[in-house]
Chains A and B, each alone.
Chain A
Amino acid sequence: MTVMKAEALNGTDAPVFYEVDEHEHPEGASTMLGFWLYLMSDCLIFAMLFATYAVLGGNYAAGPSPKDVFELPLVALNTTMLLLSSITYGFAMLAMVKDKVGATQMWLFITAIFGACFLGIELYEFAHLIHEGAGPQRSAFLSSFFTLVGTHGLHVTFGLVWLFTLMVQVWRGGLVEANKRRLMCLSMFWHFLDVIWIGVFTFVYLIGVLR
């Protein structure tokens, strides 16, 4: 460690010391906080998309309104899929803490299935809307709807890619410290997406159908 002696500036002879070197940090010690800060910036992106939807959501341009196009049973099924994938990812984390590789992989795979079901249902909904002529070009309401829900779906898609990547990593390297850290980051990402979905099904779907 390098310690520099500075000239006493306060007029006394007492020497002033300060450290020049960085403290030693264990590898990856700041990863979790850094990833959390990324999630917070992601939260701001979604906040802007929610604000856009709140402003434009009532401009139907003589086209369909939320009541005409949203099918709540489908949304309820979608919400169930995402909530189940959240709890199964939690089980994967609990297995990871106990160093059970097999159980971790199994729960990760079940999480992936639920995530894929969520995406499948959402893509079906989008295809159905576009087929009915309620695509993103139809009105400002539908543009902002597709942007908001599509961005969330894109996040889930990349979460799935990440999840499969980590399954391969765990399969090849086992539950080493680095892989545990990666799984913890994805855990935050996955639960964060579920939090965003609460906002989507409440403010877009449920309140959309009500008004």
Chain B
Amino acid sequence: MSADAHAGHDAAHPVHADAHGHGQDHGSLQSYMIGFVLSVILTVIPFYLVMTGALQSKQLTIAIVVAMAFVQIIVHMIYFLHMNFKTEDGWSMMALIFTIIVVVIALSGSIWVMYHLNVNMMPSMQDMRQMP
């Protein structure tokens, strides 16, 4: 198909691309600014908490920092990567969900197994004393 014929085809069927779900969402100035402001807030708070040690509890600080990162990743996905259930007839979201499942299994599995390996294989003081 020549470029001209292709252009004519598109002009004759302006909704062609959208009808098949290939239309890409480019976002708007407003959506980019919302994403940017949210990202700045979600970045400044964890850095502030860790750098100043504002909270006494380390566990609470870690929980807040991880929660902020989680929310910020979702903000980036929606406002910068324009993820939704419509792009490419939903296949982009399908691929993303599949990847998240694999990542969660691989990460939690690795950490879980290696943690227990460390705990259970650690030579206790009793064993150390009996060593030749």
**A residues adjacent to B (C-beta < 8 A):** 24, 26-27, 29, 32-33, 36-37, 40, 43-44, 47-48, 50-52, 54-55, 72-73, 75-76, 79-80, 83, 86-87, 90-91, 93-94, 97, 184, 188, 191-192, 194-195, 198-199, 201-203, 206-207, 209-211
Contacts and interface: CB of A to CB of B under 8 A. Distances in A.
List 9 tightest A-B contacts by C-beta distance, closest first.
Answer: A202-B69, A51-B110, A90-B32, A191-B80, A47-B103, A40-B99, A55-B114, A87-B36, A33-B88
Interface residues of B, number: 52
A76 B111 CA distance: 27
10 contacts: A27-B1, A40-B95, A40-B98, A40-B99, A51-B106, A72-B51, A90-B80, A94-B29, A191-B80, A195-B77
A137 B68 CA distance: 33
B62 A210 contact: yes
B66 A44 contact: no
Given A72-B50, A94-B26, A94-B29, A210 B58 contact: yes
Given A47-B107, A192-B81, A209-B50, A83 B92 contact: no
Centre residue among A26, A29, A73 by max chain B CB count within 10 A: A26
A44 B61 contact: no
A51 B6 contact: no
Main secondary structure of the interface of B (DSSP, over half): helix
B22 interface: yes
B80 A43 contact: no
Given A24-B1, A32-B88, A36-B95, A44 B39 contact: no
Contacts, number: 132
A29 to B, nearest CB: 5
B84 interface: no
A211 B76 CA distance: 27
Contacts of B68: 202
Contact of A184 (B24, B39, B80, B107): B24
B95 A37 contact: yes
B50 A210 contact: yes
B46 A206 contact: yes
A32 B32 contact: no
B9 to A, nearest CB: 8
Nearest to A90: B32
A50 B102 CA distance: 13
A80 B40 CA distance: 8
Contacts of B73: 195, 198-199
Nearest to A195: B76
Contact of A83 (B17, B40, B62, B111): B40
Contacts of A87: 32-33, 35-36
A206 B10 contact: no
Contacts of A75: 47
Contact of A91 (B32, B47, B98): B32
Centre residue among B10, B61, B81, B91 by max chain A CB count within 10 A: B81
Interface string B93-109: 00110110011001100
